[in-house]
Every structure is written in C-alpha cells, then in structure tokens.
Structure 1
Amino acid sequence: MKMKAALMYGPNDVRVEMVDKPECPKDGLILKIMAVGLCGSDIRNLTSDSRKGDYPFIYGHEIVGVVDEIGPDETKYKVGDRLFLFPGTYCMECDECISGHSENCGNEHVAKLAGTGGFAQFVAVSGEKIKYGGIYEIPEGVSYDAASLGEPLTSVFACEENIGVGYNDTVVIIGAGPIGCFMTQLAKIRGAQKVIMIDINDTRLAMVKKFGADEVINSAKVDPIEAVRKLTDGKGADKVISANPSNSAQAQSIFMARKGGIVVFFGGVPKGSLTELDTNYIHYNNLWIKGHFGASYSQSKRAFQLAISDTFPTESFITHRLPLDKINEGIELTRTGEAIKVVLFPWEEA
C-alpha cells in the first residue's frame, strides 16, 4: 500500500510524493497521522544539510493520530485509539534519568525510539517505544489540532517550572516565535505580573499581545537593554529567557536581568558559534545563567495535560491549518513570521 509523505531531498528541497506505507511491527502498531505540527527545528533541518547527504528523509515529530493497525503481539493499544506520540523516550535507568533529568537520557537508543517521520499519512510505532512510554491517549472531545501542540509546549512548561516563574515576577522573553508566544501565555498563567517581549518583527510583536504580553520592544528600532531598564524602573527583570537562535541576544540578555536574577539560554545558536559574555558583570550582579533543553518524563506528561485542558488556549496559537501538500507554504509562512503555528493535515486535499 502507498501513502503520501513529504520527503526531504536536500536543503530547501521538500517534495510530497507517494511512498510505501510502513509495515506494522509484530509487537507495535501503525498510527494514522491526523495532524502534525511544523516545528522551528523542522524548518531548520529542512533548510540546511541536516542529514549530511543522507536523503531522502521524512521529518516531523509533533505527531497525533489514530491507531490504524496493531501487530499480533501488541496488547496495550487497540485499533481506533487516539494517541499523542511524544518524540522523546526515557530509559529511567541511566544516571541522568535517575537524577531527575530524563530529558538528558544517556541511553541514546531509547531516547531516539520515536523522533520523526510525522510528515506522512502513517508512521510505525515499535514495541520498544510502547514499552518505554511517551505515548499519551487523547480524550474524546479534544481536537487533534490541540493535541498536536502538546509537544512544543513541553519544553516551555519545563523551563518555566525549573526557574520558578510565578507570582509578581517580571519576565523578559527574547523571541516572539511560537515558543515565545507559548512562554508568554504560560508565564501569565503561572502568575507573572509583567511579561516583556522582544523581537525584530512587528507582525509577531503585534500577535503576541493577545497571549498576554504587557510590553513589546522592537530591538531593531530601539536599544532593548535600555528599554527593559526603563520598563522596570532601572532594576531589570526577575527572569530573562533568550528563546531564539541569536548569539547577540544571549550576550545582551544578561544586562536585562536584575541583581540576583536568572537568565536562561533556551534557543540553540548555530553550532560552532560562540557567545561573548561579560562574566565580570555576571559575577558582581549575582546572576544565575541556565541552559535549557527538553523536559523530563513527568514534565512532558503534565505539559500534554495542560495543552488539552481548558486552562491553556492551545488552538488560538494555530494561525494556519494546511494540507500536507502545502508544507513548503507552511515553511515560508513560519520563516517570514506571518504564522505563529502551522499544523499540517496529511489526509486533507490541497
């Protein structure tokens, strides 16, 4: 049987074609993909030589769907079950998992059991993935659209929990992309008094206001450090999160924090690039610098539960719903900043 899939043949070369449907693992299942989010990391991978010549390849990891087929040895799920397939998996036995940092699981084989393959109509889920977990059932009444955003929310949820964003905080977020918008909304839910968003795109700055941003700063037009200081009576923010791939943003971020404040490097910068930091300033102002990546097993599940709850307005983040055939249009909408979140539907016709 054939299925539709978006195959990457090289940088900026993504083609929607008919390929063989994957075979059902004996102890696993086939998930019929009903919706898949287009992530910033997907776009970075699709527009660079991410596979170092190993093409074609199917990306896509924000996967939700319905069980279409089960293997003879699969007993946990049944045909018709609606599932969210979290890309991370944790062994819960290595030093990292035992220490509470399962997001850094040291068992690379387990950690990569379900990482990609979502830009297609079907994906095979192995028995190993089912055994180790990271698959959550989607309750009836919850849309596939909303459930698909459970994955990008996880790291945001973990970051703000880890640094204790809460009542009366002033939080600066640098980067008004989908992650920055999630961070803004969640910070307000957690009780932050003021959220200041910084970006260079006026369209995105306008959009982020509906997610709770109290102040917005276009750093291409004004000095963002001076602007933050002015908005905080000269003190700086309690927490500053650099959620973008910019070395200069990281370098500037430390000067936006108050004495004793916390600065988080959330967005990864280009590999091999170095950020120049004024460590004397960090030292004398008692700043805490934290790198953030991923989410623990507990955090991933709680983030999914938040994404499908009435507390978090998940679907309002989706600005564009497109058939899989229009994946290149979705990539461009996201790159230009016109879209906050694009969700692709493999079974819709263009």
Structure 2
Amino acid sequence: MEMKAAVMYGPNDIRVESVEKPACPRDGLILKIMAVGLCGSDIRNLTSDSRKGNYPFIYGHEIVGVVDEVGEEETKYQTGDRLFLFPGTYCMECEECISGHSENCSNKEVASLAGTGGFAQYVAVKGEKIRRGGIYEIPEDVSFEAASLGEPLTSVFACLENVKVEYPDVLVIIGAGPIGCFMAQLAKIRGAQKVIMIDLNDTRLEMAKQFGVDVTVNSSVEDPIEAVKRLTNGKGADKVISATPANATQTQSIHMVKKGGLVVFFGGVPKGSMTELDCNLIHYNNIWIKGHFGASYSQSKRAYQLAISPTFPTEKFITHILPLDKINEGIQLTKSGDAIKVVLHPWDIS
C-alpha cells in the first residue's frame, strides 16, 4: 500500500509523491497523521545538504494523528486514539537523564525513536517508543492543529523556566520568528514586566505585537544595542535571549544585558562557526551566558499541557494551514516572515 509524502532529494528539492506505507510493528502502531507543524529546523534541513547526500529522506517531527493500526502485541493504545507524538525519547537510565537533564540523553538509539517522518500520511511507531514514553493523548475538544504546537513550545517552555523569566523582568528577545513569538507570549504568562523584540523584518515585528511584545526594534533601521539602552534607562535588560541562527546576534546580546544579567544562546548557528565576544565586558559586568537546547521529560509534558489549555492562545500562532502538497509554499511563507506558524494537512487534496 502506498501513501503520500514530501520527500527530500537534496537541498530545496522536496517532492510530494507516492511512497510505500510503513509496515505496522508487531508491538507498535501506525499513526495516521492529521496535522504536522513546519518547524524552523525542518526548513534549515530541507534547504541545505543536511544529510550529506544521504537521500531520499522524509523530515517532519511536530506530529499529531489518529491510531490507524495496532500490532498484535500492542496493548496500550487502540485504533482511533488521538495522539501527540513527541519526537524526543529519553532512556531515564544514563547519567544525563538521572541528573535531570534528559534533553541530553546519551543513549542515541533511544533518543532517535520516532524523531522524524511526519511529512507523510502515516508514520510507524515502534513498541520501544511506546514503552519509553513521550506520547500524549489529545482530548476530543482540542484540535489537531493546536496539539501540534506542543512540540515547538517545549524548548521555549524549558528555556524560560530554566532561566526563571518572571516579574519584574525586562526581557529582550532577538528574533521575531515563531520561537520568538512563543517566548514573548510565555514570558508574559510568567510575569515579565516588559518584553522588547528585535528583528530585521517589519512584518514579523508587527505580528509579534499580538503576543505580549511591549516594544519592537528593527535592527536594520536603528542600532539595537543603543535602542535597548534607551529603553532601559541605560541599564540594559535583565535577560537577553538570542533566538536566531546568526552569530552576530550572539555578539550583540552581551551589550544589551545589565550588569549581573543573563544572556541565553537559544538558536543554533552554522556548524563550525565562531562567535566573537567581548570577554572583558562579560568579566567586569558579571554577565552569565547560558546555552539552551531541548527540554526535560517533565518540561515536555507540561509544555504540551499548556499548548492544549485555554491559557495559551494557540489560534493566534497558526497563521497558515496548508495541504502537504504545498509544503514548498509553506517554507517560503515562513522564510519571508509572512507566516508565524504553518501547519500542514497530509490528507488535503490540492
């Protein structure tokens, strides 16, 4: 039996075509994918030689759907169950997991379970993934689109919890993409007093205002460092998060934070690239720098619970729902800044 999938054959070469439907594992299940989010990391992978020539490949990790088939040895889930499939899986046995940093699980085989394959109509879920966890049921009154935000919200949730964003913080976020918008909204929920958003794109900045952003700064028009100093009476912000894939914003971020403040490097930058930092400024101003990636098991579950709760305005984040056939259009909408969050429907015919 065949299914439709968006298959990557190389950088910017994504073809929606028929491929073989995966077989159901004896101790697992087949999930019929009802919605899958288009993530910034997906776009980076799809537009670069992410697999070093090892193609074809199917990306997509913000997966929600309905159990379509269960293996004869699977007992936890039944056909028709609505599930959110978190891509990360943790062994809970290695030193990292035991110390509370399951986002850095060193068991690579376990960590890779059900991590991708979502740009398709079906995905197979192994029994080990079911046993290890990271699969959450979707309430009947929650849309598949809303549930799909449980994955991109996870790392943001963990970051703001780990650095204790709270009242009366003045927070600077560099990067008004989907992640930056999630950060702004969650920062306000956590009690931040002022959120300053910096970006090069006026369209993104304008859209960001609806997520609790108090002040926007277009860094192509004015010096963002001087702007932050002006907005903080010369002190600098309590916390600054660089949420872009650019080394330059990391360099700038330490000049925007107050003495004794905290800077977070959230966005991944090109592999092998180096960031220039004024180390005397870091030293004499007692600036702390933290790298952030992923979320612990506890944080991933609580982030999902927030995403599907009335507290979080999910509908404002999803600006475009497109059929899987239009994945390339979704990529362009996101890159241009015209979309905040694109969710794809594998079962729409266009």
Alignment TM class, shorter chain as reference? over 0.9
SS in 1 for 2:330: helix
1:146 aligns with 2:149: no
CA distance in 2, matches of 1:170, 1:79: 48
What is the root-mean-square deviation of aligned Cα atoms in Å?
0.4
Task: Output the amino acid matched with 1:140.
Answer: E
Q: CA-to-partner distance for each residue in 1:256-289, whole Å, 9 max, x for gaps? A: 0011110000001000110010111001111110
* TM-score normalised over the length of structure 2: 1.00
Please state whether the residue corresponding to 1:255 is helix, strand or coil: coil
Q: What is the aligned partner in structure 1 of residue 156 from structure 2? A: 156
Q: Secondary structure at the match of 2:171?
A: strand
> What displacement does 1:114 show?
1.2
Q: Distance in 2 between matches of 1:261 and 1:309?
A: 32
* SS of corresponding position for 2:349: coil
Aligned partner of 2:71 in structure 1 is 71
Please give the residue correspondences for 1:282-297 in structure 2 after superposition, counting only pairs within 5 Å: 282-297=282-297
Q: How does 1:192-341 map to 2 (within 5 A)?
A: 192-341=192-341
1:123-147 per-residue CA deviation (whole Å, 9 max, x = no partner) reads 0000010010110110110000000
Q: How far 1:26 moved relative to its partner?
A: 0.2
- Cα distance, 1:316 vs. partner? 1.0
Letter in 1 for 2:143: S
The residue aligned with 2:102 is 102
- Alpha-carbon deviations, 1:142-183, whole Å to 9, x = none? 000000000000000000000000011000000000000000
Aligned to 2:42: 42
Partner of 1:181: 181
What is the one-letter code of the residue matched to 2:112?
K
Structure 1 regions of 5+ residues with no counterpart? Answer: none
* Structure 2 equivalent of residue 167 of structure 1: 167
Displacement after TM superposition at 1:215 (Å): 0.2
Q: Distance in 2 between matches of 1:37 and 1:308?
A: 15
Return the alpha-carbon distance in structure 2 between the equivalents of residues 345 and 248 of structure 1.
36
Output the CA distance in 2 between the equivalents of 1:76 and 1:139.
17
Structure 2: gaps of 5 or more residues: none
Aligned length, in residue pairs: 350
Measured in 2, the distance between the counterparts of 1:106 and 1:7 equals: 29
Aligned residue runs from structure 1 range 53-72, under 5 A: 53-72=53-72
- Which residue of structure 1 lines up, in the alignment, with residue 13 of structure 2? 13
- Separation in structure 1 between the aligned mates of residue 114 and residue 254 of structure 2, nearest angstrom: 36
CA–CA distance in structure 2, aligned partners of residues 313 and 79 of structure 1: 30
Q: Distance in 2 between matches of 1:223 and 1:167?
A: 27
